[in-house]
Structure 1
């Protein structure tokens, strides 16, 4: 089994913990201290939110400012379009921003959210049939029924 741990930096650990829990994520207290918080999305996906100082101990590279530089965009799936809308709306209500308009590709719906530090998260819903047969086949089938 593979687990994913995404390390992201924050300038305010308490603010970051409050933000991510407002989105429905949990916190694993066994891996949370004054330097880091383990944000639990599910049994396989975690964000390690690290203070900038602590994050810097893991690399010799200069840290990018997520407010001005994009280094990665993390995408997390949701079970429905409504769930995508709900989590982004919760994020905006709790200090995040939505930097772009919602995107509806017919087979996939997505919205972007930036946390208070500027880290980007994309929440997506893909029609299960499109995931199984591919977007082109799905869209062609949808057009054939119109």
Structure 2
């Protein structure tokens, strides 16, 4: 059984991207990082992202690297513990330079909002009411 999720994201500027995600509260493991890649913990022990320079990311595929500011292939969705956590992360993302493409959506049983990171990758933050 798989116990971790690790996804790879191409970034234009490693230092700027690390500063952006650090402002959101994510941490980096220097032992698993280099000038070309940075191993970022999203949920300790289970969900990570490997930020990669475009050149390094491109070395793993013979397809062109999507320019996420121009096209999109995936939306990364993270669950939150409350609507307030959604709002807090959105505020921190905006303060760090993210684009906020739409206002929050409150469906009563679910609350969500998203942001576009500095490289154009889309992130959606969602809280869902516990079923009872």
For the aligned pair, the TM-score class normalised by the smaller chain equals over 0.9
Which segments of 5 or more consecutive residues in structure 1 lack a partner in the other structure? 134-146
TM-score when scaled to structure 2? Answer: 0.94
Aligned to 2:36: 35
CA distance, structure 2, for counterparts of residue 70 and residue 100 of structure 1? 16
User: Which shifted more, 69-78 or 103-112?
Assistant: 103-112
Query: Structure 1 stretches (4+) deviating beyond 3 angstroms?
Result: none
- Root mean square deviation of aligned Cα: 1.1
Higher strand share: 2
Per-residue CA deviations over 1:19-56 (Å, capped at 9, x if unaligned) read 11111111011111100111101220001110011000
Aligned to 2:15: 14
Which segments of 5 or more consecutive residues in structure 2 lack a partner in the other structure? none
TM-aligned CA deviation for residue 58 of structure 1: 0.9
Count how many residue pairs are aligned between Structure 1 and Structure 2: 130
TM-aligned CA deviation for residue 94 of structure 1: 0.5
Q: Which of structures 1 and 2 has the bigger CA Rg?
A: 1
- The aligned runs of 1:61-100 (5 Å cut-off) are 61-100=63-102
Higher helix share: 1
